[in-house]
Amino acid sequence: MMWYEEKNDNNIIISSRVRLARNLKKYPFNNFINNKQSKEMIETVTNAIFNDRLSSKNCFEKIDFDNLSKIKQYTMLEKYIISNNFIESNKPKAIILEKNANINVMINEEDHIRIQSINSGYNIEKCFEEANRIDNLLEESLTYAFDSQYGYLTSCVTNVGTGLRASFMLYIPMLEKFGHIQSISENISKFGMTLRGMHGEGTKAFGSIYQISNQTTLGKTENQIIEDLKNITMQIVEREKNLREMLKKDKNLDIIDKIYRSYGIIKYCKKINFEEAINHLSNIWLGLDIGILDNNILDNMYSIIMNIQPANIIDRFNITEKDNTELYRAKYLNEVFNK
């Protein structure tokens, strides 16, 4: 079971993420806080991060989110820097990024503070260490809403306790092709885990990319939650790996045919929508990983998938929302696959 630690480019565990939800004791929770209180709360949290006493204050930058263009805002959403709740909220809000790191703090999302750390591959412990470091930094000067019996208090009761959501982004095409996703989802729910689309709750899975995360945060320590998530995820990873090994041996002609067809379409298409593109890229990714296709872009497949999302295409080519993004998506993919 140690292969995943030794092989960083396994192309099954794409990324790891840890998110901590926190609220300040002195302010009403999200549903009841008004704009004046929100602005004051944002300033309080911001000052705690950019505290002159801290040598780390210069490591952070505050993003004036409301003054960003809608396209820039949605590129951040597509890259998991912010959430749907954050972008849709009409209340004052702010986001703080740690420079040269995959760490951000959303202020006035569903909770007053959402600390998030994302790292590529199997790096959940690193994510927790990074998020916990920011949490400790903030707690030096802020008083959280905390109950000695229940733990950290949050706007949604499912986050009460540790306030921790840990997750892996998985690429599991063979489990999807053989119809195992539903049974996996049902089985892991018995252990307080959930399987969702690539953008989390309420989103559809595209390109065989799924997010697995804990559902409950109460009654367990942070380490227990992370260990349970790791154990269940590794069982899923082993099943996916075994099916890929079977494909290498059996050479399933239907699957191989789809891989080659997808490669041709992506390489030569002149327009393509996001859903079709990501499904073809998923087939290509599988073909590259099992050695059916030979190309040096294997390590960049997830980045390519991120880059073809609507807002990222508009931003990359500096086009308007009225322009045909399908043409520019095809242009980008043609350039990548015809180097």
Q: Can you spell out the DSSP letters for 103-162?
A: EEEEESSSSSEEEEEEEESS-HHHHHHHHHHHHHHHHTT--B-EETTTEE--SSGGGTBT
Listed by start position, the domains of the chain span 3-241, 253-337
Q: How far apart are CA 181 and CA 174, in angstroms?
A: 10
pLDDT at 34: 95
Are 209 and 55 in contact by the 8 Å Cβ rule? The answer is no
Q: How far apart are CA 323 and CA 321, in angstroms?
A: 5
Q: What are residue 154's DSSP bridge partners?
A: none
Question: Tens of pLDDT along the chain (339 residues)?
Answer: 333 343 444 589 999 999 999 999 999 999 899 999 999 999 999 999 888 666 667 788 998 888 889 999 999 999 889 998 899 888 999 999 988 778 999 999 999 999 999 999 999 999 999 999 999 989 999 999 999 999 999 998 889 999 999 999 999 999 999 999 999 999 999 999 999 988 766 667 889 999 999 998 888 999 999 999 999 999 999 999 999 999 988 888 899 999 999 999 999 999 999 999 999 999 999 999 988 888 666 668 889 999 999 999 999 999 987 778 999 999 999 999 987
pLDDT at 298: 65
Tens digits of per-residue pLDDT, 274-286? Answer: 999 999 999 999 9
Q: How far apart are CA 134 and CA 112, in angstroms?
A: 15
Structural class in CATH, domain 3-241: alpha beta
pLDDT at 240: 96
Q: Can you spell out the DSSP letters for 189-202?
A: HTTTEEEEBTTBTT
Are 198 and 169 in contact by the 8 Å Cβ rule? The answer is yes
Q: How far apart are CA 339 and CA 335, in angstroms?
A: 6
